Amino acid sequence: MAKMEVKTSLLDNMIGVGDMVLLEPLDEDSFINNLKKRYDHNEVYTYIGSVVISINPYRSLPIYTPEKVEEYRNRNFYELSPHIFALSDEAYRSLRDQDKDQCILITGESGAGKTEASKLVMSYVAAVCGKGAEVNQVKEQLLQSNPVLEAFGNAKTVRNDNSSRFGKYMDIEFDFKGDPLGGVISNYLLEKSRVVKQPRGERNFHIFYQILSGASEDFLCKLKLERDFSRYNYLGLDSAKVNGVDDAANFRTVRNAMQIVGFMDHETQSVFEVVAAVLKLGNIEFKPESRVNGLDESKIKDKNELKEICELTGIDQSVLERAFSFRTVEAKQEKVSTTLNVAQAYYARDALAKNLYSRLFSWLVTRINESIKAQTKVRKKVMGVLDIYGFEIFEDNSFEQFIINYCNEKLQQIFIELTLKEEQEEYIREGIEWTHIEYFNNAIICDLIENNQTGILAMLDEECLRPGTVTDDTFLEKLNQVCATHQHFESRMSKCSRFLNDTSLPHSCFRIQHYAGKVMYQVEGFVDKNNDLLYRDLSQAMWKASHSLIKALFPEGNPAKINLKRPPTAGSQFKASVATLMKNLQTKNPNYIRCIKPNDKKAAHIFNDALVCHQIRYLGLLENVRVRRAGYAFRQAYEPCLERYKMLCKQTWPHWRGPARAGVEVLFNELEIPEEEFSFGRSKIFIRNPRTLFKLEDLRKQRLEDLATLIEKIYRGWKCRTRFLLMKKSQIVIASWYRRYAQQKKYQKIKSSAVIVQSYIRGWKARKLLRELKHQKRCNEAATIIAAYWHGTQVRREYRKFFRANAGRKIYEFTLQRLMQKYFLEMKNKMPSLSPIDKNWPVRPYLFLDSTHKELKRIFHLWRCKKYRDQFTDQQKLIYEEKLEASELFKDKKALYPASVGQPFQGAYLEISKNPKYKKLKDAVDEKIIIAEVVNKINRANGKATSRIFLLTKNNVLLADQKSGNIKSEVPLGDVTKVSMSSQNDGFFAVHLKEGSGAAGKGDFLLSSDHLIEMATKLYRTTLSQTKQKLNIEISDEFLVQFRQDKVCVKFIQGSQKNGNIPTCKRKNNRLLEVAVP
């Protein structure tokens, strides 16, 4: 069986009524209660057919995430809960798939969330359309145009911290694939009066505060601005800071957005210079002066501000100063120049500031359009987004409210026309008979305002152009004459007697009965605001500026293009713009978003019934519902209708095999719904009364509960059967495992019993065998003993005659053997340590073992000496060999020897290779140095000593100067015949040389050294190694030394020394040197 596809619907889990068309009963109270109920549950969107009602939640809700975008993407309009994304998706798919141009009209009063709604629409369209580098760039430019226009066109009001003070219409252009190509923005009626004056609690346009808060000090210096808001008269101080608004961060966002949209750096700089100039214009103040002719004129108090403005704009200071003081009127060939009093000068200043900012804003829109316009000339599809003021009813309503409400009348008119047209087209398309719908047509109100002969705007223009004295009162008087009989016009001064005593209507006001209610307008300011005059002198002064942007903003200031005609009035300009807008909207398929503000506190969770009721009335929402419900309140395609209600009929449940329309017909016939309550179209079912739909929903709800009970019953049965089968399967598994366990236990028990029986049997057999073996062994032993005794008896009989003769010798040998064994065992336990110098040895136990005892001692000593020597390295062996040689040469012969035993033989006492002092000596000797030592060479003449370096190499003996390192003598080892020294404790020794040798010319060497034993030993060993002859070492207290041709006796005597223990040498005569040794 195919799996049933479950679809969500607008009617599922509905809080209140999601579509006001289904509201029953339909009245103002139920309408408001339904909105409030949904608002309390965070449902801020509600439908009126295809119209979306949006209530500002004044907080962030998690319903605009990328996941929500994907949820509403390519879904039917009524398939999910009401959402602005559903309308955006419906409009985008109609444009992409059906090639229908779309427009989205967003209306509502200030603070209702119109700007945010337009952002959401644009962000949704940007998210669902195509991807790619060029497409992403276009989308980014379209989205980034919003921050720029908001900064220059939005302001903080008492009702909204980010109120749009202009109307905006954006046409977004798409290609055939639905990818954006570009866009065009149109702006309507910027509230430029806000530049010079703001109501209490409100701010000027955002950009002024953003520059002062976010610009760097260097940038402010270039613009000649200061960061303090209080320095500027055009900035209201009571609301300069807005909670939750970071003007500095927003300024950085605006600059970045301008860069993304495509503004060049010099263009951005020029824009901010104009803004700075507008800001500084407010600081220009005037003082009165009287002329000789008695006329009043004005002068600028402080010209420093004027100077800085001229530096910013590139205008000659005298030209601008004159433009603020004089006014030139031209008529044909005549020019008349008049002075301006203080009031007129202030008017001229404010008019210039308003015009400068208004024209800058229009230039910004034009510049943005240049950047975001489509670059290709292919046929384009268009989606328009209109974000414009809602209907305004204040305590004091003036010209601005009159214009805004006129625009809303036109929008209401086109809304009714297009809605009825859409309804009629759908009825015709579906083959449903169209019946005439009664509704209020506000064309009569639009005619009252815009009629070319008798309309209020036409009479206002006529009054402004009329020569003579023109005031607001004369305008009201003219209205009272022309419009007195109009049923939607009310005035105390009109000819209609029914308003003569209406005290709620002041004499200086008139009242119009709009479609949303009556609005009273104060006539004061109508004429001036409609004229919107800027003195020609100021236009010409601006055109003379060297600042390229300012010059471009005032083309009418060019003397070559002077036009003496009066410029069109504000009313006529707006009327033309509205007409163009209406013509544009009529070519597109409309989509409506009606924004409602729940409270005036800009706070979440507060729903003011009276305020919402007021907005419902002037938005005409009830009228909208009635128009929608005039024919059939609900319509739905056959497929989703059958899918939703098929469970109410046995023939259609669970699957209908035929066409969807046939299934719906069977379903409605089965339910016995009266035929007058529904009609079958070509693709949709039309239900006349909401009660019928709610009846279907109640039946569906009950049927779903029955089906849920059935499903629950089947599920519980299935669950119980599954549990039973599982338990049965488990029982079988458990039983099988238990039987296996029981058999294993039984087998183990039988096995253990068999093992025990076997062990007992084997034990019995083993014991029986053991007894037999023991008996056999005893028998064999008995036979052996008997045989032994018998053989012993026989042997004793045989050898008895020899025993007495050999008994003594045998006993002696046995005793001696036992003593030797005991001796060796005792020696084993009493052995001394392995140290060669340990002289301990066990005492001889028996006299007959004396020679053996000594020989063992000698052998043991030699053995442990060998063990000790085996531990030596080659270097240690060499050292001990030298020490042994020294012992053989000098032990018990030289008194100095015992002191040298403990001293190691180092040889190289002078580090010749490392010491840079001996570098010369090292370079001269290329052989390995065996010993290097400082010795004292004895002078033969006086016995005094001279320090010399004694070097012994492999082949030579060398003497070198200690200071210079020069070699004094070099003797080959073959020429050394003998070394003589005394037996006393001194370091004197003589080196005897071979007679006739080359080194013996100066005779033998008499030297003294602290390392005599080492030097003599090494000299002896080296000579023996090289010459294979032993060097004669003579030890005597008197010996002869050859000095040149003479032989001198060196005699060693005992005596006390003045120098302590140091031996001294003295020359006694030519033949005797006496060495005194302590």
Query: Within 13 Å and on the Cβ side, how many CA atoms surround 57?
Result: 14
Alpha carbon distance 718, 651 (integer Å): 26
For residue 518, what pLDDT band results from cuts at 50, 70 and 90? confident
Query: Which secondary-structure segment (H or E) carries 415?
Result: helix 399-430
Query: Within 13 Å and on the Cβ side, how many CA atoms surround 815?
Result: 6
> pLDDT tens for residues 828-848?
888 888 888 888 888 888 888
* CB burial of residue 1026 (10 Å; 0-12, 13-18, 19+): middle
- In the chain, what percentage of residues exceed pLDDT 90? 18
Alpha carbon distance 585, 796 (integer Å): 158
> pLDDT tens for residues 522-536?
988 888 888 877 778
Contact of 330 with 562, CB cutoff 8 Å? yes
Q: Is 610 left (phi over 0), alpha (psi -120 to 50) or beta?
A: alpha
- Six token digits for residue 646: 């098929």
- Six token digits for residue 327: 């006014």
CA 372 distance to own-chain centroid? 32
Please tell me which of 129-133, 689-693, 712-716 the model is most confident about, judged by mean pLDDT: 712-716
> pLDDT tens for residues 961-1008?
888 878 888 889 888 889 999 988 888 889 998 887 777 777 888 888
Contact of 171 with 181, CB cutoff 8 Å? no
**How many angstroms separate the Cα of 641 from the Cα of each of 422, 684, 693?**
22, 9, 11
> pLDDT tens for residues 1045-1062?
778 888 888 876 565 677
**Residue 718 confidence (pLDDT) above 90:** yes
Q: What is the mean pLDDT of residues 458-470?
A: 82
> What values do phi and psi take at 331, rounded to 5?
-140, 110
Contact of 314 with 299, CB cutoff 8 Å? no
Greater confidence, 555 or 494?
Answer: 555
- Six token digits for residue 933: 């030592």
Helices 303-313, 265-281: inter-axial angle, 10-degree rounding: 160
CA 933 distance to own-chain centroid? 77
- In the chain, what percentage of residues exceed pLDDT 70? 93
Average pLDDT, the chain: 84
* CB burial of residue 1015 (10 Å; 0-12, 13-18, 19+): buried
> pLDDT tens for residues 920-961?
788 778 888 888 888 988 887 777 888 888 888 888 888 888
Pairing mode, if any, of strands 1005-1008 and 1032-1035?
unpaired
Alpha carbon distance 1000, 990 (integer Å): 13
Three-state secondary structure call for residue 436: coil
**Residue 37 confidence (pLDDT) above 90:** yes
For residue 802, what pLDDT band results from cuts at 50, 70 and 90? low
What does the DSSP assignment read for 443-497? HHHHHHHH-TTTSHHHHHHHHHHSSS---HHHHHHHHHHHSTT-TTEE-TTSS-G
Alpha carbon distance 309, 316 (integer Å): 10
DSSP E strands, 755-912: none
Tell me the pTM: 0.60
Please tell me the predicted confidence (pLDDT) of residue 900.
82
Alpha carbon distance 524, 401 (integer Å): 13
CA 313 distance to own-chain centroid? 45
CA 495 distance to own-chain centroid? 74
**Among the listed residues 1029, 1027, 1038, 1078, the one whose alpha carbon sits nearest the alpha carbon of residue 1057:** 1078
**Residue 372 confidence (pLDDT) above 90:** no
**Among the listed residues 77, 90, 70, 154, the one whose alpha carbon sits nearest the alpha carbon of residue 116:** 154
Please tell me the predicted confidence (pLDDT) of residue 495.
61
For residue 2, what pLDDT band results from cuts at 50, 70 and 90? very low
Lowest mean pLDDT across 170-184, 258-272, 599-613, 872-886: 872-886
> pLDDT tens for residues 296-327?
788 888 888 889 989 988 898 888 888 888 88
CB count, 10 Å around CB of 50? Answer: 19
Q: What is the mean pLDDT of residues 397-402?
A: 85
- Six token digits for residue 275: 């803004």
For residue 803, what pLDDT band results from cuts at 50, 70 and 90? low
CB count, 10 Å around CB of 826? Answer: 11
**Residue 1010 confidence (pLDDT) above 70:** yes
The residues annotated as belonging to the active site are 110-111, 115, 160, 163-164, 390, 392
**Among the listed residues 540, 557, 541, 552, the one whose alpha carbon sits nearest the alpha carbon of residue 309:** 541
Q: Is 42 left (phi over 0), alpha (psi -120 to 50) or beta?
A: left
Contact of 792 with 784, CB cutoff 8 Å? no
Lowest mean pLDDT across 355-359, 682-686, 888-892: 682-686
> What values do phi and psi take at 679, rounded to 5?
-145, 150
Assign 3-class secondary structure to 249-279.
HHHHHHHHHHHHHCCCHHHHHHHHHHHHHHH
**Residue 4 confidence (pLDDT) above 70:** no
> pLDDT tens for residues 48-60?
878 899 999 988 8
> pLDDT tens for residues 83-140?
999 999 988 888 888 788 888 988 887 778 888 898 898 888 888 887 767 777 777 8
Please tell me the predicted confidence (pLDDT) of residue 6.
40
Lowest mean pLDDT across 274-278, 856-860, 994-998: 994-998
Please tell me the predicted confidence (pLDDT) of residue 922.
80
